[in-house]
């Protein structure tokens, strides 16, 4: 299988389907748009519930948040997020670092059935451990589209179906994880200790590697540094507490290891683009 971490696979690209000339048959799939590139360090995309397409984004670099259904999901390098037709959604980056995205927007017969499957099973994101096959398929689609822009709709539809089947398989968590053991162990340790005063020196000591080596390999496979990822995990947990509990903002800050309320407020605002209290009010409106 091709190396999905090869930078050559992620050259800037944007495709918009022509408004005319498509073969219209009930079993045909069409890509309305697809693209690849690095988004700016601060951006926000919001669409209402009349969005008509099935769209899949993969992060090939960086970490960021995807907001749907009143919940924020922290995504790292290799993760995917899925937008189904009829779902209002927002995705944004307030991290201060560029975010690399490769994506495809599909017009699909039976859109309601496919979207319904993902909605019923609450599948909004897919972990990097399971995305290599669909991501590789999407890379192949884009390479084919670039090399042969006049390719017939039947051949393209076949490739889109293969992509969807790989995506469905990934959504069932059936693909193996090919991350180095060091990265798997690092992520598991962070998941268990991110609410503590966790330092990278402690993490590298636990894993018996140098701080420099851990940062380098972590950046390659996760898309950001260990210290930045720990911060984002704290924000993700804070978002969850703000959405699902009646804890005060000060108590939420304490729950993620920040005992200075003003520091927590600044930290949250820097990462999410709004104060914790504003975030909580916005989420309540979405869920009500």
Instruction: Name residues whose C-beta falls within 8 Å of residue 54's C-beta, 6 or more positions apart in sequence.
Output: 82, 83, 84, 85, 105, 106, 107, 108, 111, 114, 115
**Which of 49, 63, 69, 72 lies closest to 276 in space, CA to CA?**
72
- Asked whether the predicted pLDDT for residue 110 surpasses 80, the reply is no
- Residue 43 has φ and ψ, to the nearest 5°, of -155, 165
**The pLDDT of residue 34:** 96
- Structural domains of the chain, ranges and CATH numbers in brackets: 7-171 (2.60.120.10), 181-287 (1.10.10.60)
Least confident of 21-35, 79-93, 120-134: 21-35
Higher pLDDT, 214 or 39: 214
62 pLDDT band (50/70/90 cuts)? Answer: confident
**Which of 195, 200, 191 lies closest to 238 in space, CA to CA?**
195
Please tell me the distance from the alpha carbon of residue 65 to that of residue 278, in angstroms, as a whole number: 17
Q: Provide the mean pLDDT of the chain.
A: 86
Tell me the β-bridge partners of 94.
Answer: none
Q: What percent of the chain has pLDDT over 70?
A: 91
Model-wide pTM > 0.85:
no
- Give whole-number Cα distances, 91 to 32, 246, 252, in Å: 19, 25, 23
Quick check: 272 and 239 in contact, CB under 8 A? yes
Higher pLDDT, 24 or 141: 141
Quick check: 118 and 84 in contact, CB under 8 A? yes
- Give whole-number Cα distances, 210 to 194, 202, 223, in Å: 20, 10, 19
153 pLDDT band (50/70/90 cuts)? Answer: confident
List, for residues 222-249, the tens digit of each pLDDT value: 888 999 999 989 999 999 999 889 999 9
Question: In terms of DSSP bridges, do strands 64-68 and 71-75 run parallel, antiparallel, or are they unpaired?
Answer: antiparallel
């Amino acid at each position: 299988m091709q190396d999905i971490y090869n930078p050559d696979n992620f050259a800037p690209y944007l495709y918009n389907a022509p408004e005319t000339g498509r073969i219209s048959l009930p079993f045909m799939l069409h890509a309305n748009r697809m693209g690849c590139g690095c988004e700016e360090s601060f951006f926000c995309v919001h669409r209402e519930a009349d969005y008509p397409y099935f769209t899949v984004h993969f992060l090939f670099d960086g970490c960021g948040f995807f907001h749907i259904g009143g919940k924020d999901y922290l995504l790292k390098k290799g993760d995917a997020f899925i937008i189904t037709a009829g779902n209002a959604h927002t995705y944004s980056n307030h991290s201060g670092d560029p975010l690399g995205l490769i994506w495809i927007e599909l017009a699909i017969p039976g859109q309601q059935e496919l979207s319904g499957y993902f909605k019923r099973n609450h599948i909004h994101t897919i972990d990097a451990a399971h995305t290599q096959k669909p991501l590789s398929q999407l890379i192949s689609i884009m390479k084919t589209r670039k090399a042969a822009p006049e390719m017939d709709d039947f051949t393209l539809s076949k490739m889109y179906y293969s992509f969807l089947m790989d995506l469905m398989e990934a959504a069932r968590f059936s693909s193996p994880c090919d991350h180095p053991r060091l990265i798997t162990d690092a992520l598991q340790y962070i998941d268990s200790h991110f609410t503590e005063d966790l330092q990278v020196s402690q993490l590298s000591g636990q894993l018996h590697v140098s701080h420099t080596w851990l940062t380098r390999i972590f950046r390659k496979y996760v898309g950001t540094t260990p210290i930045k990822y720990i911060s984002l995990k704290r924000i993700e947990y804070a978002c969850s507490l703000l959405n699902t509990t009646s804890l005060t903002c000060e108590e939420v800050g304490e729950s993620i290891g920040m005992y200075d309320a003003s520091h927590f407020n600044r930290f949250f605002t820097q990462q999410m683009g709004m104060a914790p209290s504003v975030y909580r009010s916005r989420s309540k409106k979405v869920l009500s």
